[in-house]
Amino acid sequence: MVTELRPPELLEPAVDVTAAPGSSATISCRANATRATASWRKTAPETRALRHGGRFAISLAPDGLASLTIHACRASDAGVYCCLVSNELGGVQSSARLTVGAGGTPGVPTVRAHPGGGLVVQWDEPAPVHLEYCRVGEGEWRRATETPAAASTLALEELPAGQYSFRLVCSRGGYGPASAAAACGGGGGWQREQFARRYALAEELGRGRTARVVVARDTGTGHRVALKQVVAGRGADAVREYRILSRGAHAAVVRALALFAEVPRAGAHTLVLELVGGGPLLDWAATSSQYTQRTVAHHTKSLLSALEWLHANEVAHLDVRPENILVELGGAQPQLKLVDFGSAVETGEKGASTVRDVLPPRARSVGIRTPGMCPRSAADTRLGRLGRWRFPICIPNWAVAVLGRLDRGDDGEHYQVRLLLPGGALGRRGRACAGAHPRPAGALACAPPRAAGRA
């Protein structure tokens, strides 16, 4: 049986297709043709011929169905595709548009091992997205990108050893599906080598539940620095603390100089901070003969200025207390330094789908509270005694009281109270009593002085 050779005839034109990023998309048309071949090319926004192989699969079935399948679709694959079915007597063509990701959720990022340790994550989206990662077994998603990007290849060389999943987050479609868990052997060898060359460790300054602080000498500059070594499993806290401290500078906020991941061991992180030489505020003030009421007012203004700067940068410290306020004695006069941002939160991350509520504490009659912003459930803190003068406290209207002990009566200790008004003016004197009878934590029986005029 001899089949008559005829020019191809289009039976079913190609139709437009929409695909989610990372999925497969097939564009097809059908033609009545004998001894024919099918070729595909992209005609918009750029023009290029397509070949069978890799992510592209081209086929022509015996019934005349010509198909183009694109695997793991990317945003850059979007455009117009044209199919040409031809034989010796002529040809016929049909075009269709491929749309990637419009109106859908983000796709699945591609994850592969990094030659130097860690993982490499790649994505291609039509709109800017953030990358998040989750260590298997922890259940907490953490942000891996500073700014959103539509297409990027990100090398995460500082991840501790473990299994990790990744997902994309965008305002258009929310959260994308998580990638399959990828094994990370842990990087950081290069960082540990550079750290060992740069810093010579000396004595330990202090140790807490999640970190220890060590004095070291920077061999490059000869200056002494403080190394905050964060334990394994709290790396995200160290990265956030470094991000907060390195975004700007304030005279009353400790400066961050560098961050070393996987140092001194896998999973740990080391923050390099400026060394504050005077120690905690209470220890210094207890031994200083010049710690007067005017000095307290000056230091209070400095501390409030630091908090105002943090809040303007959408950061809440959440752990402002005397132990986290150090004194720098290297200048012309003592300078307060607010430290330990391990509990701090960023209240307005750009691109985040939600913003955490960080509120000041509820007002009481008069309560002793930390000067920083506090979460809704934060408890009051007790007043720490300091010789004649007391550390500044905040009361419900957010003025600051300077306390000085007067005498002891049958009803407890009596204190002199003055308010530091907006602009630094001191309000009129008043009298407060911290009674000997049981009271709620931090409560004072006090008739607040009028906040008008100067004493």
Average pLDDT value for residue range 45-53: 90
Mean pLDDT over each residue of the chain, to the nearest integer: 74
Of 105-109, 221-225, 271-275, 300-304, the least confident:
105-109
pLDDT at 58: 95
pLDDT at 39: 94
The residues carrying an active-site annotation are 319
pLDDT at 266: 66
Instruction: Sketch the domain layout of the chain as residue ranges.
Output: 9-100, 110-184, 202-274, 281-446
Q: If you compute the radius of gyration of the chain from its CA atoms, what whole number of angstroms results? A: 33
Exposed (0-12), middle (13-18) or buried (19+): which is 277, by Cβ within 10 Å? Answer: middle
Q: Do domains 9-100 and 110-184 have the same CATH topology?
A: yes
* Yes or no: domain 9-100 corresponds to CATH 2.60.40.10: yes
Average pLDDT value for residue range 438-447: 33
User: pLDDT per residue over 272-284, tens digit each?
Assistant: 999 988 888 888 8
* Yes or no: domain 110-184 corresponds to CATH 3.40.50.300: no
pLDDT at 6: 86
Greater pLDDT, 189 or 230: 230
pLDDT at 70: 95
Binding residues for ATP: 228
| Whether the predicted model's global pTM rises above the 0.75 cut | no
Greater pLDDT, 314 or 67: 67
Q: Is the pLDDT of residue 122 over 80?
A: yes
Q: What is the total residue count of the chain?
A: 455
Task: Give residue 81's pLDDT band: very low, low, confident or very high (50, 70, 90).
Answer: very high
Q: Is the pLDDT of residue 94 over 90?
A: yes
What fold characterizes domain 202-274? Phosphorylase Kinase; domain 1 (3.30.200)
Of 24-28, 53-57, 160-164, 240-244, the least confident:
160-164
Q: Which positions ≥6 away from 54 have C-beta within 8 Å? A: none
What is the Cα–Cα distance from 308 to 315, expressed in whole angstroms?
10
Give residue 221's identity as a one-letter amino acid code: T
